[in-house]
Amino acid sequence: MTALEALEARELTTYQHRTPQSHALFARARQVMPGGDTRTGTFYLPYPLFVARGEGCHLWDADGHQYLDVLNNFTSLVHGHGHTAVVRAIADQAAKGTVHGTANALQVALAEVLCKRVPSVERVRFCNSGTEATMGALRAAKAFTGRPKILKMAGGYHGSHDQVAIAVSAPYDAVPPGVSPGAAAEVLVGRFNDLEYTAALIRAHASQLAAVIVEPMTGTGALPADRAFLDGLRQVTAECGVLLVFDEVITFRLAPGGLQEVHGICPDLTSFGKIIGGGMPAGAFGGRADVMATYDPSRPGAISHSGTYNGNATTMAAGLATLRLFDGAAIGRLNAAGDTVRARLQAAAVKHGLAVTVTGYGSIMQLHFGAGPITTPEQAAATDKRLTRLLHLLLLNRGVFTATRQTYVLSTVMHQAALDVFTDRVGDALGEIARAQKAAPVGVAS
């Protein structure tokens, strides 16, 4: 057994000894949910941690252990757990009714905030998730252009509806189980940060192509798009009469107007989610008034877009409270903290002699076990996932809650002491991995 295998076995045993209640809950879950799971992105073996409560930047599991939360529900909890102002907004509105089956003033107020913060958004509609947001934006593009196809990037994640489920992970030419072959046939797959290849594909299929959808920074991998790549996409789509859709479900937290503001690029449509709901299920999509008019119910032939919880009052109240607190100054402070953390993590890897690359922008980052630069999903996919899983286990056992893929997300309630704890514990865990890599096999004299 190698020293790395011994470290992995030790940490797995520690995890199982620490979390008997999570194990018991997982056993119950397996009796009523396939694989004991209802959210693929949060599943890991031998069983996921079951969390009982959260407060500020901490979580407590079913066994009572405390964790520093450096995931924040995959970027959606920008003010951490149970923020007083957000909880008050939810409670006040819930006392008046959570949802009323008709329009409410809070919808208008939150729509006004989005339109003010994001100049490319002239009209907006609400839904309940990022998946619904990208689906709504792409449907608008198809209705407006009269064209059936979309282009997305290999490795890009835009939710779980059929077309965007294509080419999320390698092999990128495979059709995922359960996805309609007809939907798959209407998807072209570009290459993130490869303008020459992607622009040629757009031009070759322009007559059938309704939209290009792209993340200004990938959610999986935290890989920022090159400005020249996004500029080039804007130019070639405009040239071909194809709509450009920015998926800012994740990246809207990185500037008052999202990363499109940082790059100075004006897409035709934008999808939102995560922080706009203040911890409640939320999504939105918006953009040019003429394109969004495809949803105007007062017009003949408009797209039908209903949803029992679209724009529900409780979510709107939580979103408004969250965004009022998250102004330009707060975003700047949080991004500066993220830049410092990212540099410290990279320095810790160098100190221990590990081939590690930390990518990201502002308050979102990801640690990859591989030498840089890492700028494409294909490069990120080639990194050492076994070491990534081991780091996840090491951090859980040391009271740090992260994504299995080692995406780290900061919140405004993480002050310097918490950031120091986080970077120190990641550094210590990297040191254990480095020592195990250099050690002789267990049971063999050095």
**List 142, 274, 361, 408, catalytic entry:** 274
Residue whose entry in the numeric block shows the structure tokens 């303008």: 195
Is 274 a catalytic site residue?
A: yes
Dihedral (Cα; 134, 137, 138, 144), 10-degree rounding:
180
Distance (Å, whole) CA 52 – CA 174: 38
Distance (Å, whole) CA 430 – CA 416: 21
b/e per residue 237-263 (b: at least 16 CB within 10 A)? beebebbbbbbbbbbbbbbbbbbbbbb
- 3-class DSSP assignment, residue 212: strand
Residues in contact with 302: Cβ distance below 8 Å, sequence separation at least 6, in sequence order: 294, 295, 296
Smallest CA-to-CA distance from 286 within 253, 246, 255, 316 is with 246
**List 149, 247, 295, 408, catalytic entry:** 247
Distance (Å, whole) CA 149 – CA 209: 5
On the CB side of 364, CA atoms within 13 Å amount to: 28
On the CB side of 408, CA atoms within 13 Å amount to: 31
Smallest CA-to-CA distance from 375 within 226, 232, 169 is with 226
Residue whose entry in the numeric block shows the structure tokens 């070759």: 204
Distance (Å) of CA 423 to CA 83, 337, 343, 420, 430: 24, 12, 10, 5, 10
User: What does R_g of the chain's alpha carbons equal in angstroms?
Assistant: 22
Dihedral (Cα; 247, 253, 257, 258), 10-degree rounding:
-40
**List 67, 157, 361, 408, catalytic entry:** 157
Question: Do you know the residue count of the chain?
Answer: 446
For 323, the token pair is: 């965004």
Residues in contact with 158: Cβ distance below 8 Å, sequence separation at least 6, in sequence order: 130, 131, 134, 152, 164, 213, 215, 247, 249, 271
* Residues carrying an active site annotation: 157, 247, 274
